[in-house]
Chain A
Amino acid sequence: DVKVTQSSRYLVKRTGEKVFLECVQDMDHENMFWYRQDPGLGLRLIYFSYDVKMKEKGDIPEGYSVSREKKERFSLILESASTNQTSMYLCASSFLRTFFGQGTRLTVV
C-alpha cells in the first residue's frame, strides 16, 4: 500500500518559534505538495515540488518555505510561527493520482 507519512499528528508551538513539518513518501513520486486546511476555506496549496531541489509557490506561500533535498522527503518550514498559522497541514505526493498523509494539526500559541 502507498504511504505518505507526516511526522506528527498534533503539534503545539509558541509564537516566533521555527517549526519544521516533515513528510515522507515511499512511492518514488516526483511531485509532492503541502496544503493547509481551515474551516470555511477548504484546502489551499502552499508549495509544491516536482523534483529534488525544485519548488514552486502555491496559492498562499507567505510565511512558509520548503525543502526537498531527497526525493522521498518534503519539508514545510515556518520560519517564525504566528497564531494565524494555526491550521491542519496536509502533505501529498503524486503520480497519476495523489495520495495524502493523515495531516498535522498545528496550534500556535
Chain B
Amino acid sequence: DAKTTQPPSMDCAEGRAANLPCNHSTISGNEYVYWYRQIHSQGPQYIIHGLKNNETNEMASLIITEDRKSSTLILPHATLRDTAVYYCIVSQNSGGSNYKLTFGKGTLLTVNP
C-alpha cells in the first residue's frame, strides 16, 4: 500500500473551514484515498473516500489533485466536536485478501472556540 504524509497537528477556529492536507505521491492507479477520524477514546469513524474525482457528503469534501499525488479534506464549518485525529489512507477498494487499511500517525485537528 502507498504511504501518506500528513502534518502532525493543525488548529482551526470554530465555524471556519478546516483544510487538512495529505500527500500520497506513490499512489497507484487502483488505490483509493480514504479519510477516517478518531475522537478521543472512540473507534475510528469513516468520513469519505475517492478515486479521482472530488467527492462531497454530509460530513466533508474531498479534493484530489489531477495527478492524484495529494488530497485535501475540507470540513466546511468546523465545530468543537470535530476535534479529533484525522487519518488519510490509501488502499485498494474493498474485498479480497489484498484489502486492508494501514494507519499512519494522522493529523490532530484542534478546533478552538
Contacts and interface: CB of A to CB of B under 8 A. Distances in A.
Interface of A: 4, 30-31, 33, 35, 42-45, 48, 50, 54, 56, 58-59, 90, 92, 94-103
Contact of A103 (B42, B46, B49, B95): B42
A96 B93 CA distance: 6
Contact-size category for B: 20 to 34
Q: What does DSSP make chain A's interface, helix, strand, loop or mixed?
A: strand
Nearest to B101: A98
Interface of B: 34, 36, 41-46, 49, 93-97, 99-106
Contacts of A44: 103
Nearest to B97: A50
Contact of A33 (B96, B101, B104): B101
